[in-house]
Structure 1
């Protein structure tokens, strides 16, 4: 299968190790992963803040960059949702490529739940809003995590509650965002987890920043990084 990695501008700029983990994981499973150099922003930030005219050229550029691939994988539920749900809205003439969030690709397309990972830590999982409500990934990430050797996976109370990030929401509605974050952090701490994981680094950055400021000792790792981990490097 010809698989292309859509790293997203956010991960490329701030969390490049997540993209490397996706490639390492898929190559371990026997797949070749390309990185089309022409890829750029999917336009989500512009679209969500009302700049639809400015976002439209990005739709065509995205389709051109990933043309011909059987599957495009991204470590971001929000960007996957943007391409699948809104690229056609912005430009009905464009045919978006098949884009999958990582857990969707592994479970639904490749038919894999045990990826041979090893991560001997107490972990709790936060289902991000876009993956939960737009993509409806359901328990796919949990199926993958449950198959990880050495992991102590604990349920997160009120897991489906938003963490308060929401892109520019956290900036425009800071007080509300902070209150939502406080609730999420309280629930994370109640699990006794060493590590919080999710499928979107944006939410992990938001929650992780709060946990760090409180000196809780709870770390954050993207789902891809846990699934790519093996004995000796976890």
Structure 2
């Protein structure tokens, strides 16, 4: 499998810059900023963002099913306990690498933002910066992330009231829905941070 293309490096220090002309520097600046923006907000990044969210929810769903089986249904016979243990292990096995992927994505986004700021500070190029300043990607991430936060809020308050009660779910159900809501909240806040950072960059390039 081919290795993923590395991120564009930061601009070289002032004493090591050897561009033959300003146009060459602006071309390198435009390429680096375009690639960094794509890595942070592009369609591929959005697909992976949603896939990691789905994988986290799947893993937590398996763990939550085990919690409901133990705390709400009182399933303590040996055969059922083996089944619940296997289900919980599968859930943890899916959840851990998914969370690692989320953390890796956040670290990559932080690096992209830092390098974007460095390249943007080199010079100004209104014509080439116009593509980066377009609000489409930032708006898409903002709307999607706001929807995730709203869904997380609804899941953490409204859904438990619908499924928890004396004749319905108990502690296991509450734990599952709280965990699912937390995953939605975290992903929503990550997306909102990305959208806000893109907005700040667009404002900076436009001034």
TM over 0.5: no
Q: Per residue, is there more strand in 1 or in 2? A: 1
* TM-score (normalised: structure 1): 0.20
Larger radius of gyration: 2
Q: Per residue, is there more helix in 1 or in 2? A: 2
Tell me which of the two structures has the higher relative contact order, counting C-alpha pairs closer than 8 angstroms and 6 or more residues apart: 2
* TM-score (normalised: structure 2): 0.22
